[in-house]
Structures are given as structure tokens and as C-alpha cells.
Structure 1
């Protein structure tokens, strides 16, 4: 009996006191529970911080009164404030598809004396034979007694984008002994295209898309004399700068040295400023700081010293457009040789749409306001039919 009680006493602490056996695990889990509480508290604090941050972001949403409609509240909601993806950016794809389907229209005028390379430069710009001289069979260049404008149109397609290009040439400009008022036919032509567009716009049943024959850009060729602007240059650009966007260029700039070219460009810029001549791009039309910085660089390069050619040559195993001389090859698209690449970027790659916008919003709007304010405007003439854009023009298709 005593041995049995002794054995029970030995086993008691292990099996006979279950409460005491459960205290040990409880005392062991106490640090874990404290850590769990701390982690839970940290998560709550982080969630609270995130909620406060969201509230701060929402509080940053600007609310302004719309200046055009009194009492209308307008808020600017950024992408971070949206609950999810809406799809507003898809509008750009819609605009792109619509523009590709409709095509573009661009009308460019070249003005300058004969022999300055107007046709060659236009061909080089669009890398195809688009000038009247190049695409007209049996063409014989004759100096006309008066300035008579000729236009030729092409449909150019590149990567699915179609553009109707119209090149207006001005043979006979500045080639006469007496060049008085030689700019009047050009001014008349520009205003006639504005009038044609205005009549179409004022029709009761007007076309959904009015054909645009207005001159979007005028490239004025200056001879590489190394001297200042001639009186004919000043008079022409002073008159045309008010009704069309003018981009002056120094033709055949490879006849000047680098130092002569820089000095000539500086003299021309001084003459433009002294005579109040407005050339594209104008400072007053800059809409934002980024555009102003880009246009300031362009204005520092005006007039562009250009060289044109449609012949290819081998340079270091690559085909390049250039003029071959006994001193070497002048690469047209090399900015170290000439500024043709800068001119092409301005006219086509960066400012083509802006040239069209300035023509419509500034030059055409000025003409429209003046015509509608004239008391002698005969509105009965607006019912007369006008020639379509494809009326009597030559049209070719280039792919």
C-alpha cells in the first residue's frame, strides 16, 4: 500500500494536476499574443495613414468657377483620383482613325527668282517629283512677262496616311527689269482662296467638309548674296506676312562659307526686325512654355540655309541625298552641312498642323471679319456655284 501511494505521489505532479499542466503553455504563449497585438496595431496605423493620404489627395482636387458660365462649378480630376480605368485616352485613337480615313490637305507656295532651286527643294522635301517642272512632260522653262501662278496637286500616301499636297509655283517673280507690284498677283491669289472658302462656308446648305485651297505656308527664297535684304524682298514679305505664314530660306547655301552664312543670317534677322516683317512662327501665337521653347530655337535658325537635290550618292556605304562637288559630297540631310533637315521638320514633322491652324484661326479669320464688316459685300453672290478643289487642277497619285 505504501509503495502504491508513493508511486501515485510521484505520478501526481505529471498527470494528477491537469490545471498546473495547462499553465505552462499559457505562460509560453504570452509573448506571441503581445506580438500579434503589436502587429495588429501597426496594420491599423498603416490603414489609417493610407486613409488620411487618400483624403489629402482628394482634398488637392482643384475646384474653380467656370469663367464663361457664372455659377457653374468645375473640378479637375486627375488619373490618381479615378476609381478605375475609364478609357478617355481612347479618344486619341478615334481621332487618328478618323483623320486617316478623311486624309489631310496641305497647300504650299514657293516664291523666288528663277534658278534658286524652288522645284528641286520641294521635290527634296517630299522625296518625290511633286513640282510642276518635274511632273510636267516636255516642260520648257520660259521667263514669263508677268507673275502667273501655277498649281499642281498630288495625293501622297505614307504608312496608310493620305495627304493631298498642292504646290503653287510663281514663275516670273522678280525676273523682270521693272518689278513694281510683282507681288500683287500673289496677294490676289491668296485672298481669292480665302474668298472661295468664305463663300462655301456661308452657303445655307454647305458641304460637310469644305475643300481647303487656302495657302497654308509660303516658302520665300532669298539668293545667297551675302548682303542684306533687297527692297523687293522687304516689300513682298511685309505684305504677304499679314495674310499668310512665311518661312524665309537662303537658297543654294552651299555657295557660302560657314562664317559668311552666319553673318548673312544675322543681317537678315536684323532687317526683318527693323522692317516689322512677320515670319512664321510668330511669338504671339505661342500657347504654352514648351511650345515657346521649341519655337524660340526655330526663330534663332531663321532664315534656314538650305540645299536641295534629288540625287543619291554613296557615303560610307550608305545612300544619302547630296550634291557632288570636286571637294566632296554635300549631304542635304546632314545638319552639319546645311539646315534642310530643320526646315523639313518644321514644315512636315512638327508644325504642319499648326500651320493649318494658324491659317484658319488667324489669317482666314482676319479676312473673314474684314469681309463681313464691309457694307458693300454682295450676299446674293454667295448662291453662285464655285469650282471644286479638284476642278481644273492636275492630280496625280503617289504611293
Structure 2
């Protein structure tokens, strides 16, 4: 199937071609015609498979087909600033040949320029829930003309505790509208959200829940916690990795690791929730431009970072919530390109990584490296951890309640030859 067969107008097909795409992905094949037909959608797809285009292309077409004065007709809600910026970037790229205006609004930046642009008039608003409520309370935005509502990464919004904010926002949106819900999983909470706000939705799933993209090569390396930094620096240098996204569990850990990598002679920057929006934007821009070789991030960046042809992702610390592993490594292997995801697994993280193996149902090869052989034994796990509620997951994702990693220390550099080992 080609994009020509999806019923898109010439201006959109031209923009798609300029982006270098010729064939739609499975989620695009199924979602675009359904959205153009006016159906409510409940859709799930692997990260990096063109989900954003699956809703922005038909949204742009439907808005451009209508005439009349400019007014806010479409609202896209996202959980994070980075995802809002990414969606807006895609929207502008695909709508470059159309006379439509869009705006992204999120916290951490001055609200006055946003207010000014809202007064001038826009067609599409991309917003995080908190900042949108700020505008509603100030009377700087009206949602009574919304015809299309998209909840992007709905499961992440629930994880971050945004359900009350979503309920509050939707009280200002007309009941007669088209609603699309995109989520990595269809949990009970997501199903309840869909039941409340969607009308007879078409359910689209293009891959098993929590599956990983085949283009991503995955492997794990067993190593002691206090030698992870040394091993990471050695791998980046010896393998000549020029662009590496590294995940830690905590904000403090991200800052510390970035500083240590700088000491090792690697250009590095940290990005997390405590950073100002200006600092986050600068770090991400430097990473995309190649000025920053290593970007160290917490899970706030696991969804929303769209970095073209990112080759390497490293789980410096194993996530507390197994599902976050899928979103972390989904930053590489995007749009069918190859990628490598490496997980550094200490003895204390043995059972956390085993939970990830069970979740993704993929054989992840495990090895140890000469000079970095682990001495730590797998931590005892006498009883399964208590099941986390979504509010607890939110705290884990942000690093608020996760335990701090042990202090990393330097040491001699091993040769790093691979040696197969039993599973971590």
C-alpha cells in the first residue's frame, strides 16, 4: 500500500514525500482511513512506528477541508513537554503546504508568549494538561469549538497522575466531537477512560502489548554497580559510539553520571524534570546536532524524544517498572532503522531484569566482559514485590521514590572482550 491509496490530499502527500516516506506503516494504514471516516479510535502501536503521523495527517486533512474564520478546532493532549514539542514539529512538517496554524503549550516557560499566540488565533493546540488548565483558568483559551480530541500516550498520562486534569479539561470540550486515544497498553484504566470519553471506538492494535521493535538488537552485560560508569565510558570510546542516550532512574543520578562522563573526556549533558525547559531544549538540541555525545536522561524522556537515526541506547540502571524498558529502548530502531540497546545489569538488578525478559518475551543475550567480570551475586528476592498502583508508578518514573544507586568509582580499564555467560 502507498500513501496515495489512503485518500490524502496532494499537499499532504507532497509533505510526506519531502520527509522521505513512501509507504505507510501498519498503524498508519489502519488509523488514517478510519479517522478520515470520522470514527473514534482506541489505538496501540510500537514506539517508533509512525504513530504521530497516523493522527496528524488525517487531522490536517479534515481541518483543511473546512472553510470559515480561524478558530481552535483540534486539541492534542500529551504527558510531557518533549512529546508536545515532537508532535508539534511533526504537525508543522506535514502541514507545511496548508494554511493552518498550530501552537504547543507546556509549563516551565513564560506563559505570556503563549497567551499572545492564542489571542491571534490557531487551528490546532498541542498541550500538556497542567499548562492547559492554567490557560483555561486565565480565560486565554476556549475549548468549546473543539471538533477533534487526541489523547497521545494516554497510559503515560495516567501513570503521571493526570486523570483528574483530563476529567477537568474534557468538561470544557463539546460532547459532539471525534476522539482518538493512543496508548502503549490497553490496561483496565485505559479501557475505563475510553468507555467514558469515546463513542463506539474502533480498536486498533498493530503489535502484541509491550513488544519491542525487531530492528532493535538487545543485549545485557553483567557488571558490578560500582564499575558501570567505567564500563560505559570504555564502550563508548572503544566502539566509537558518537551518539548515545543513557537512562538512569533518578535525577540526581543523571546529573552525577553526566559530570563523570565529562571528566572521562566525553561531551555529556543531563535531561530530567528538574531541569528548566531552556536547559532541556539546549541539551537535546546539542545532542541532535552532535555537539553532545552522551545524553543522560530519566524516564521522563523515554516517551517524546524523537531523534533521527539514534544508534545506541544504554540502560545504565534497570527501570523499576518493566514497561518503561520498552519505551526507553524504543528511542532507537525508529522508522525501520537498526538500533542497539544495551542494559548494564548489576547483581541487585537481577530480578528486575528477569521481569523485563518475561514482559517482552524476547531472548535477550547476556554476556560479561573481560576485565569487568561481576563479583556481585544476584540479590535475594524472597517474595514478589507488591503490585504498584499507577500513582506509585508515576513516582518511580520520575525517580521521586526510587532508591539511589551506589556511588560509582573509577578503576583500571579492562580490555572489554566479550565472554558469554548465563542469563543475568
Q: TM-score, normalised by structure 2?
A: 0.27
The higher relative CO (CA closer than 8 Å, separation ≥ 6) is in: 2
Q: Which has the larger radius of gyration?
A: 1
Q: TM-score, normalised by structure 1?
A: 0.28
